[in-house]
Structure 1
Amino acid sequence: MTDFDPAAYLSDELLERIRSRAAAVDAENRFPDEDLAELTDAGYLAILVPKALGGAGLGLAEASILQQRLATAAPATALAINMHLVWTGVAKVFSDRGISGLEFVQEGAAAGEVFAFGISEAGNDLVLFGSDTVAEPQPDGSYAFTGAKIFTSLGPVWTQLGLHGLDITSPDGPQMVYAFVPRTDAVTTRDDWDTVGMRGTQSRTTELHGAVAPADRVVRRVAPGPNPDPIVFGIFSVFEVLLASVYTGIARRALDLAVLTAKKRTSKKTGLAYADDPDIRWRIAEMALAYDGLLPQISSLATDVDQRADHGALWFAKLSGLKHRAVVAAKQIVDEAMLVAGGSSYFTRNELSRLYRDVLAGMFHPSDPESAHATVAAAWLGPVSS
């Protein structure tokens, strides 16, 4: 990555145009169509696709840097695009390891397809390890999916939905089925995204009424529960690294805004510039110390995924821990930035107020704090004794 130039894939000019629209997208609670159009034209949706298939041929470590950069301008846009990049990242995990079956994702992304992530379900804390969505096998090898997926980012614009469901009819026992369905009349996207923050993601509920994934879009069938299958590792690894990247980007923007504020404000009480006030200097130093610790962690784990490192049973603990630490640190950094900026940051016209709302979403993504701690405890202590 020594020669990697983020601006070659996400220019300063494009970044500023995206930043200029972010407040209106949030206020109007709409999808950032203009951002998606410009990012598509720039080839951003294919950054993880091999050059031979029309993409940029980047690795996860490089995509992570770009997602941090995008999140400094518009966190909701970055988070929405994340969900598309997860699937292209999983396809890269497969191809890097000589596993076929997801070439259509790479080719589709290069051709302008938008892939959404349909895994989360209301009340399903099993996440990848179970599903309330029914996957019904069809005679031609296709599957019909019936159920509801929540937090489906890119809700108004996706063209292909990657999802999972449970097939209870299989002679070899229940099977988790991973597949892709196109947007058809069998899919209903509710207009129900009215949240505190991350409003531009438009992560709406998706209803599946027998939505059919063609046989050649049925990617994997695996047993429910914890599973070492590449589909589970691929989703978990790319999802956690890119999530950590988005929230680290929010942290960076909050730190930058705090520094700008400290340099332009003067205390009436002391006559000192905020940048010279020892309390403010200490607070900003705390923010920078926390932020600096995130960068090598993300880079290291993303590079390990790219280079097929073997962390064995510790992989899931490392990945869930990375996401957890990034989100916790980002929230703390935004909190500190609000205090540096003072009461003006509480007004909705202030960018920090939007970052303050956006960063809250991090706690709700897998792995949530409880799951992360349980995963790490199991890795170090083993399973709970019965």
Structure 2
Amino acid sequence: MADAPAADGATTLAARMKRVATVAAAAAGQVDRDARFPREAVDALRSERLLGIMVPRDCGGEGAGFAEIAELCTILGTACASAGMVFAMHQIKTASLVHHGANSAWHRDFMARLSRDQLLLASSTSEAGIGGDLRNSVCSIVPDGDHVTLEKDAIVISYALDADAILATARRAPDAASSDQVLVAIERAQADLTQTSTWDTLGMRGTTSHGFKLRARVPAAQVFPKPFAEIAAQSMLASSHLFWSSLWFGIAAGALAKAQNFVRAAARKAPTVAPPGAARLAAAAAELASLKALVRDGIARFERARRDDDELNTMAFAIAMNAVKVQASEKAVAIVQEALTIIGIQGYKNDTPFAVGRHLRDILSAPLMIANDRILANTATMLLMSRLDADLEG
């Protein structure tokens, strides 16, 4: 087990993550080039004991809040998008565990082990036959005495080979409807993984999101007591959209910081002339501020809704979270593209201090996770049955 960070006065969550980010940034190029798991960053996360910070204090964690986790996603995303995405996806699953496993003895014990041993959680929601529709499953759990079995053809399971446990969705029973789902915690030693595809992608290469046939037999106690529909609506939807958006903000901020350095360098060479790209930089900085406000407002809305289960389950809340995801992903892509325009050929080349090629390739995944068109179609359906939010407050 890793030692706790030294009590040196710089042990805030942000300070700890900044130390991780330094490690992640040093390996980011190699992680991207080789499409390999960001092991150095994850080892540093364990060393700084940042994987279990959302776990409640009475289970051995630090009880970190949602906004704090989002800030950490931004910090790490600025240094290495793949490492930031691994951290974000881990925290999304931890949110499901913390918010929906508190009344289960097995899941509370698992929370304690997550914090104590700094376990890394992965997710298996996508499946052959349903695409990216996480609210439907083809596979089901099958009772087997006091155990259940599961066989799932997972299109992707990010960093599955490096995770300590996988949280997988499945139908409640072989005769259950495709939307009648449960969430099952599967420890790595219980999972039989047969790789079916590789992850050779444009960006986010270090998430190693290969495809797998997943087979497992686990005690029935490892099935979450609440239906997955509740878990998705009350924590997974919001945590996915908001942690991802925080990460995308970090990627965009990192790219724009390079553009700012480029414009500053030009200004130093010709201090009496407005440098090329200065006006574009100002406009892009305004867009970055708009993205920040969007994400922060989404986080604040979720924090308010968490105190009211009725609000969490409303269409208005789901529509708001969908809007954050769609808008954040589109804004982040536009900001990184503008950073490249400001820098020009020095940003296009991979061997300069101003290179933003990796940022651009990584951020292009944002509108695809989950596809914005799918989200907008779901939102359109909900808008047919709910009132349009036209209030400036609330």
Shared fold (TM-score, shorter chain, > 0.5)? yes
* Residues 1:303 and 1:275: Cα distance change in structure 2 (over 3 Å): farther
Tell me the CA shift for residue 258 of structure 1.
0.7
| Residue aligning to 1:23 | 29
Tell me the CA shift for residue 38 of structure 1.
1.0
| Residue aligning to 1:299 | 296
1:373 aligned to which of 364, 371, 376 = 376
Letter in 1 for 2:288: Y
Tell me the CA shift for residue 186 of structure 1.
2.3
Tell me the CA shift for residue 85 of structure 1.
0.7
**Match status 1:361 vs 2:368:** no
Aligned counterparts of 1:158 and 1:120: Cα–Cα separation in 2:
17
* Residues 1:275 and 1:375: Cα distance change in structure 2 (over 3 Å): farther
| Residue aligning to 1:322 | 324
1:285 aligned to which of 282, 304, 327 = 282
2:345 aligned to which of 334, 343, 346 = 343
Aligned counterparts of 1:161 and 1:274: Cα–Cα separation in 2:
58
* Residues 1:196 and 1:290: Cα distance change in structure 2 (over 3 Å): same
Tell me the CA shift for residue 5 of structure 1.
5.0
**Match status 1:51 vs 2:48:** no
Letter in 2 for 1:234: S
**Match status 1:252 vs 2:253:** yes
- Identity across the alignment (%): 23
Letter in 2 for 1:62: E
SS of 1:117 mapped into structure 2:
strand
8 Å contact 2:294–2:328 — kept in the other structure?
Answer: no
Letter in 2 for 1:91: L
C-alpha RMSD of matched pairs (Å) = 2.7
Aligned counterparts of 1:129 and 1:262: Cα–Cα separation in 2:
46
* Residues 1:8 and 1:290: Cα distance change in structure 2 (over 3 Å): same
Tell me the CA shift for residue 128 of structure 1.
2.7
8 Å contact 1:87–1:115 — kept in the other structure?
Answer: yes
SS of 1:162 mapped into structure 2:
strand
Aligned counterparts of 2:377 and 2:45: Cα–Cα separation in 1:
38
Aligned counterparts of 1:285 and 1:116: Cα–Cα separation in 2:
39
User: Structure 2: which 5+ runs fail to align?
Assistant: 1-10, 387-394
Letter in 2 for 1:301: G
2:274 aligned to which of 273, 276, 284 = 276
8 Å contact 2:53–2:64 — kept in the other structure?
Answer: yes
| Residue aligning to 1:263 | 264
Letter in 2 for 1:151: V
**Match status 1:37 vs 2:43:** yes
8 Å contact 2:136–2:178 — kept in the other structure?
Answer: no
Letter in 2 for 1:31: F
Aligned counterparts of 2:99 and 2:295: Cα–Cα separation in 1:
17
Aligned counterparts of 1:348 and 1:365: Cα–Cα separation in 2:
26
Aligned counterparts of 1:274 and 1:87: Cα–Cα separation in 2:
53
Deviations 1:301-331 (A, max 9, x none): 3233334252622111111111111111110
Aligned counterparts of 2:182 and 2:173: Cα–Cα separation in 1:
10
The 5 Å alignment of 1:94-243 reads: 94=100, 100=104, 102-110=107-115, 111-125=117-131, 127-140=133-146, 142-170=147-175, 175-183=180-188, 184=190, 186-190=192-196, 192-209=198-215, 211-220=216-225, 222=227, 227=229, 229-243=230-244
| Residue aligning to 2:6 | none
User: Structure 1: which 5+ runs fail to align?
Assistant: none
The 5 Å alignment of 1:6-21 reads: 6-11=13-18, 13-21=19-27
Aligned counterparts of 2:297 and 2:273: Cα–Cα separation in 1:
33
Tell me the CA shift for residue 222 of structure 1.
3.8
* Residues 1:281 and 1:173: Cα distance change in structure 2 (over 3 Å): closer
Tell me the CA shift for residue 365 of structure 1.
0.9
Letter in 1 for 2:93: W
Tell me the CA shift for residue 332 of structure 1.
0.3
Aligned counterparts of 1:181 and 1:148: Cα–Cα separation in 2:
15
Tell me the CA shift for residue 171 of structure 1.
7.7
Tell me the CA shift for residue 293 of structure 1.
1.5
SS of 2:118 mapped into structure 1:
coil
Tell me the CA shift for residue 162 of structure 1.
0.2
Give the TM-score taking structure 1 as reference length: 0.86
* Residues 1:255 and 1:156: Cα distance change in structure 2 (over 3 Å): same
Aligned counterparts of 1:335 and 1:113: Cα–Cα separation in 2:
36
| Residue aligning to 1:65 | 71
Aligned counterparts of 1:276 and 1:27: Cα–Cα separation in 2:
37
Aligned counterparts of 2:287 and 2:217: Cα–Cα separation in 1:
46
Aligned counterparts of 1:273 and 1:168: Cα–Cα separation in 2:
71
SS of 2:163 mapped into structure 1:
coil
Give the TM-score taking structure 2 as reference length: 0.84
Aligned counterparts of 2:177 and 2:274: Cα–Cα separation in 1:
69
Aligned counterparts of 2:292 and 2:37: Cα–Cα separation in 1:
29
Further displaced range: 348-357 or 40-49: 348-357
